[in-house]
Amino acid sequence: MNRLLTVAVAGCGNRGQHTYSRMLMDMQDKVKIVAAADLDPSKLAGIRQLCGLTEEQCYASAEEMLSRPKLADLMLICTPDSCHYAHAKAALLKDYHLLLEKPISPTAEECRELAALAEERERHVAVCHVLRYTPFYQKIRQLLDEGLCGEVITVQGIEQVGYWHYAHSFVRGNWRREDESSCMLLAKCCHDMDILLWLLGKKCVQVSSLGSLRHFRPENAPAGAAARCTDCTVKDCPFNAVNYYVNRYRRTGDSWPQNVVAFEPTEEKLMHALRHGPYGRCVYHSDNDVVDHQVVLMELEDGTTVDFTMSGFTANNARHLRVMGTRGEIVADMNAMTIEATHFGSPTEVIDVKKLAEDLSGHGGGDRRLVREYIDFLRGDCPMTTTMTSIGRSVESHLVAFAAEVSRKAGGVPVKL
C-alpha cells in the first residue's frame, strides 16, 4: 500500500490517546489519524492538538462519529468496556478494520457475534492482547516450540496486580463494578487467559474457580477512616489517595495514573479530583464489587493442567510463570525480565529479556509492537503472523473467563466449555 492508512479513534483517554495515538504519530510515513471522538471535551481537545485535527474531524461521541459515512480504513475502539460491543458492531457494519481494546464484550454471546460479523464482513479485528507481542512471552513461546520442556504437563501463572494498581483501577476506578464494566477476571486477566492458551497452542475444555471480595469492604476500614482520603486522619494507610496521587506526583512528576485522575494533571487539579471524584474515596467506603483475589484451574484438551492466581495484595504489578514438562522447566519473572530455562540434565540458562529489545515500555514492549505489526499487516507490508490471530482465537480467552466466573459464583463447581 503506497497511500497512508487512515485511522479514526473512538475513545481518547489513556489507551486511545496517550498510548495508541501517540504511537501512531511516530508512524506518520505509514498512517494518518483523520477523526476522533470522546464524550470529554478536554480529551477531545487533547487529541485534536496531538494529531492536528480540525474541529470538523472531532466528534462529541463515538455514536456521532459512527453515524457518518466511513471515515477511515481502521478504527480504534478504546471506549469503556460496556460500549465495546455496540461500537465495534457499528464499525464493522461500516467495514472498518478494528483495533479493539479488551475485553471484546462483557458477554459471551456478544463476543461470538462480533467474531462472526468480522468473518462475514471480511474485516480484520486485532484484540489488544498485548502480552503476545512482548519479547518476554515471545521468547517463552520460542523455547516451547523448540521442545525445551518436551510435553508440557502443568503450568502455573500468577498476576500480581499490585496493591496500588488494584486500589486505583478496581476499587476506585473504571473497573470497580461488574455491572459497569465486567468481572475482574475478564477486565484484568483475559490477558492471562489468552497468553496461557497462546503459549501452549491448545484449547481449554474445563474450568473451575474460587475467589471473593474479601478485604476492600466497609467492615475492614481502620478506626477513624473518613469517606474521603482528603479528610482522613489515619496515618499508616497504604491506600491513601493524597499520598499516592498528589505526593507521588510532587516527587516524581509521573504522568500515569495521575492523568487518569485529572487530564493534564497539576497538584491543584489532582486535589480537586480527589475531593470531588471517585479516586479520592476511601478504599473501604467505595461502591466496588469485583473480587480482590481469585484462583482458576483449567484442563486443556490433551490433559494439560493450568492453575492461575490473581491477587490484589502484592507489592509489585508483575506476572510470573512456571511451565513444567517431561523434558524441562521454564521459570519466568516479568518483573525482573528473566527467564530460567532448564532442559533436564543440562545447566539452567538464565535469559535476560532486557538484552532482547531496546524498548520494553508499555506492557513489556507489547503495546508498540502490537501497533506496528498490525499497521504493517493492514498496509500489506507483512503477512499475518502467529502472534496476530483472528478475533475468533481471542474469544477463547473470554470464554474461559466467563466459565470461571460461573464456577466461582457456584462455589467452584467445574464448568465445561
Q: What is the pLDDT of residue 385?
A: 81
**Average pLDDT in the chain:** 94
Please give the torsion angle defined by the CA atoms of residues 133, 136, 142 and 147, in that order, rounded to the nearest 10 degrees.
-140
Distances (CA, A) of 354 to 145, 258, 335, 350: 21, 27, 11, 12
Work out whether the CA dihedral 397, 179, 110, 174 comes out positive or negative: negative
3-state secondary structure of 230: helix
* pLDDT for 1 beyond 70: no
Q: How far apart are CA 306 and CA 296, in angstroms?
A: 8
Q: What is the pLDDT of residue 255?
A: 77
Strand partners, 325: 152
3-state secondary structure of 176: coil
* pLDDT for 319 beyond 80: yes
User: Which are the contacts of 36, defined by CB distance < 8 A and separation ≥ 6?
Assistant: 8, 9, 10, 12, 21, 44, 47, 48, 51, 53, 57, 58, 59, 65
Pair 303, 200: CB distance under 8 Å: no
Q: How far apart are CA 191 and CA 199, in angstroms?
A: 12
Distances (CA, A) of 336 to 140, 248, 316, 332, 375: 15, 23, 11, 9, 30
* 143-185 tens-digit pLDDT: 999 999 999 999 999 999 999 999 999 999 999 999 988 899 9
* 19-39 tens-digit pLDDT: 999 999 999 999 999 999 999
Helical spans, DSSP H, in 99-247: 108-121, 135-145, 163-166, 184-200, 241
Please name each of the domains of the chain with its CATH number.
Answer: 5-127 (3.40.50.720), 131-216+290-364+388-416 (3.30.360.10), 218-280 (no CATH)
